[in-house]
Amino acid sequence: MHDFPLPPGARVGIYLTHGSELDTAPLIAMAQRRGWRLYVPVLLPSRTRGMVFAPLDGPMQRNRYGISQPADSTLRLHPRWLDLVYVPLVAFGSRGERLGSGAGYYDRAFTFRHGRNRPRLVGLAFECQQAPALQLQPWDVALDAVVTERATHRFR
């Protein structure tokens, strides 16, 4: 899948599929078999436009965008404590550029990562989502890899 092997107990962030995003259910099942601890994004109140992660267990509720997230997010985890994060995307470029849905939650959540390589960020996409050229803005957080149905694209 990618070159970031993880031991059992690793903390892995993963999104829950919404709309036409690549289905993460098979990846979630594989991660659970490997003993990874899974965390999903939780949006903070709209005035902060922030995002944290909470364990993938217990009842779920829909956030303001209609995306499932844990109903009880009292066990929040700051993104810096994750080992690996699978992120959704609309398009990706040849240098790890990521075009998301436009709200900037992932870029804000991982802004601390500029110049660091943890947690690893891996996009999940279809090969047809690769763009010939995307402009990387100063606030954009680049991906370490993108996994598609055809290949694993590694960056840096």
Q: What is the H or E stretch that residue 128 is in?
A: none
Note the pLDDT of residue 22: 87
How far apart CA 154 and CA 35 sit, in angstroms, is 25
Residue 69 falls inside a structural domain: yes
Ranges in the chain, pLDDT < 50: none
Query: Which pLDDT value is given to residue 26?
Result: 95
Cα–Cα distance, 17 to 8 (Å, whole number): 24
**Cα–Cα distance, 90 to 154 (Å, whole number):** 18
Alpha carbon distance 112, 93 (integer Å): 22
Kindly report the CATH number assigned to the domain that includes residue 60. Answer: 3.40.50.10420
Model pLDDT, residue 115? 67
Residue 22 domain boundaries: 11-154
In a domain, 82, yes or no: yes
Residue 11's pLDDT is: 97
d(CA 34, CA 111): 29
What pLDDT score does 1 carry? 56
Report the distance separating Cα 13 and Cα 24, nearest Å.
11
Residue 79 lies in a domain: yes
| Number of residues assigned to the chain | 156
Instruction: Identify the pLDDT of residue 3.
Output: 60
Tally of domains in the chain? 1
